Structure formats: structure tokens, C-alpha cells
Amino acid sequence: MQDSAAVVLFNSNFSKIGEEKSATQQAWYTRTLDSLNRDPGIRYIIVGCHHAPYTNSNIVDPSEEVQKGYVPAYINTSKAVLFLSGHSHHLEVFTMHGKQFMVIGGGGGLGQPYKKAEKKAFTDLLDETQKPRYFYLEVDRHGDSLQVTARGFTMQAFGVYKDFPVAVIAL
């Protein structure tokens, strides 16, 4: 029975690791996704890095390097179902190219403003007024789907933890 999850993380600090290591890492990433996709023991793949390929942050830009170098392999891997990133200190959820992307930078950094509505390049599936300020994610398997929940608190209810359902991803 196919029942295992794989988590594939890569270093998106490209300027720090240099061109040669970046190229080696990108080749490894593509091979790894392909291998996991063909592995009958793997049911789904979660990908993660620091820099968000998509964000509506007014402080940090979406990473074009991640968009160009890593998103295509994720999109073209049928078992890849969730792309997690940070850098932007928000909780954002996007469906791009038919796949789920989440920015999960709410672990304790200073709050960052969002772009004004008319300047947002991406449609966030979560209502900004209903998002936790500080949070962590729980990913639970329920049958043929993943339930993704942010567990945290808002500044209005500081220290009062509650669950914020984020997404259900069908496998």
C-alpha cells in the first residue's frame, strides 16, 4: 500500500551557496522528485524552502529564482501536493498552476504589512482578518487527503491558541 510521505527541502539562499552548488542542488532536486514520484511506497511529496515563490508581502519580493528553478519540477510531479516557504512573515495560501503553495513565516518574526489590495499580484485563499499572527502548521492525513491547520493566536487574543483550518488537499 502506498502510504508514505516524503519531505524535500532545498536551500534557497542562492547568493550564499554560489552558482555551482545551486546548479548541483537543482539537478539533485529534479532527480529526487522524479525518483520519489516513481516510488510506489510514496503517496505524496511536500516541498519546502525559505524564500517564497509567491507572496503579497510589502517587505520581501517573491523569489524569481525559486519560481524559475524549482516550481516547474514541483508542478510537473504528480505526487507533489504542497510547497511550503517562509521569508515573508505571513500565512498565505495560493493555488498556482493547480498546486498548493503556502507561505508559513509566522513563527515569531516582526509583522510585515501586505501590499494594498489593488497591488497584490496573487490571490490569497485566506481572509487576512482571520489569520493567526504567530503559528505553526499541523499536517494530518485523513484518508485520501491532507488536512493542513495553522495552530496559533492572533494579537487580539494573544496567548490563546486556537486552530485555523488552512487547506484540505486531496491525494
How many CA atoms lie less than 13 Å away from 95 in the CB half-sphere?
Answer: 7
Is the Cβ–Cβ distance between 66 and 49 less than 8 Å? Answer: yes
Per-residue pLDDT of 2-43, as tens digits, reads: 568 899 999 999 999 999 999 999 999 999 999 999 999 999
Predicted local confidence at residue 50, as pLDDT: 96
Write down the domain spans for the chain. Answer: 4-125
Identify the H or E element spanning 46. strand 42-51
Which of the following CATH numbers is that of domain 4-125: 3.60.21.10, 3.40.605.10, 3.40.50.880, 2.60.40.1290?
3.60.21.10
Rounded distance between C-alpha atoms, residue 98 and residue 128, angstroms: 22
pLDDT band at 110 (very low <50, low <70, confident <90, very high): low
Please identify which residue in the block is written with the cell numbers 492572533. 154
